Structure 1
Amino acid sequence: MIKQVLHAGPVALLITGAALAADLPRRAAPPVFTAVPVFSWTGFYAGFNAGYGFDAGSGSNGSTTITTSAASGLIDNGGAPGIATFSNSRNNEGFTGGGQIGYNYQFTPGSGFVIGVEADAQYLGFGSGRNTATFTGTPNADITFVNPNGLSNLDYFGTVRGRLGYAFDRTLVYGTGGFAYGGGGGTSFGLPNSTSDSFRTGWAAGGGIEYALPADSFLNFFKSSAVTVKVEGLYVSLDRNGTNGAFAYSNSTGTVYNVSGTGYASTTGYTSRRSDDFAVVRAGLNYKFGTY
Structure 2
Amino acid sequence: MFIKNLGIIAGVAASLGASAALAGNVAPAPAPAPIIAPALVDWSGPFVGAQFGGGFADTDFRYRGATPNAADHDSDGLFGGIYGGYDFQSGANVFGVDLAYNFADITGSTECPNPTFTCSSELEDFGAIRGRYGRAFNDILIYGAAGYAFGDAKADAARAGAAPVFLDNSASVDGWTAALGVQKMLQSGWALRGEVAYYDLASSTGAIVADSGDPARSAWT
Q: Could you tell me the TM-score, scaled by structure 2's length?
A: 0.65
CA shift digits 1:191-213 (9 cap, x unpaired)? 25454xx1011000011110101
Cα 1:227/1:243, change in 2 over 3 Å: closer
Match of 2:184 in 1: 211
Contact 2:58-2:73 within 8 A present in 1 as well: no
User: What CA distance in whole angstroms lies between the structure 1 residues aligned with 2:64 and 2:129?
Assistant: 39
Match of 2:30 in 1: none
Larger strand percent = 2
User: What CA distance in whole angstroms lies between the structure 2 residues aligned with 1:256 and 1:234?
Assistant: 40
Match of 1:237 in 2: 200
Alignment of structure 1 residues 10-49 onto 2, 5 Å = 37-49=39-51
Cα 1:229/1:129, change in 2 over 3 Å: same
Match of 1:88 in 2: 71
Larger RCO, structure (CA 8 Å, separation 6 or more)? 1
Cα 1:238/1:35, change in 2 over 3 Å: same
Q: Name the Cα RMSD after superposition.
A: 3.8
Amino acid at match of 1:236: Y
User: What CA distance in whole angstroms lies between the structure 2 residues aligned with 1:34 and 1:169?
Assistant: 15
User: What CA distance in whole angstroms lies between the structure 2 residues aligned with 1:155 and 1:244?
Assistant: 16
User: What CA distance in whole angstroms lies between the structure 2 residues aligned with 1:146 and 1:232?
Assistant: 34
What is the SS of the residue equivalent to 2:97? strand
Larger radius of gyration: 1
Cα 1:240/1:54, change in 2 over 3 Å: same
Alignment of structure 1 residues 109-258 onto 2, 5 Å = 112-127=92-107, 134-135=115-116, 152-185=121-154, 190-195=165-170, 198-213=171-186, 215=187, 224=188, 226-241=189-204, 242=207, 244=209, 255-257=214-216, 258=218
User: What CA distance in whole angstroms lies between the structure 1 residues aligned with 2:79 and 2:208?
Assistant: 26
Cα deviation for residue 38 of structure 1 reads 2.9
Match of 2:83 in 1: 100
Cα deviation for residue 255 of structure 1 reads 3.6
Amino acid at match of 1:230: R
Which blocks of at least 5 consecutive residues in structure 2 are unaligned? 1-32, 158-163
User: What CA distance in whole angstroms lies between the structure 1 residues aligned with 2:215 and 2:118?
Assistant: 10
Match of 1:21 in 2: none
User: What CA distance in whole angstroms lies between the structure 1 residues aligned with 2:215 and 2:131?
Assistant: 44
Contact 1:90-1:127 within 8 A present in 2 as well: no
User: What CA distance in whole angstroms lies between the structure 1 residues aligned with 2:126 and 2:110?
Assistant: 19
User: What CA distance in whole angstroms lies between the structure 2 residues aligned with 1:152 and 1:56?
Assistant: 10
Which blocks of at least 5 consecutive residues in structure 1 are unaligned? 1-30, 68-85, 136-144, 216-223, 260-269, 273-292
Cα deviation for residue 55 of structure 1 reads 2.1
User: What CA distance in whole angstroms lies between the structure 2 residues aligned with 1:105 and 1:52?
Assistant: 29
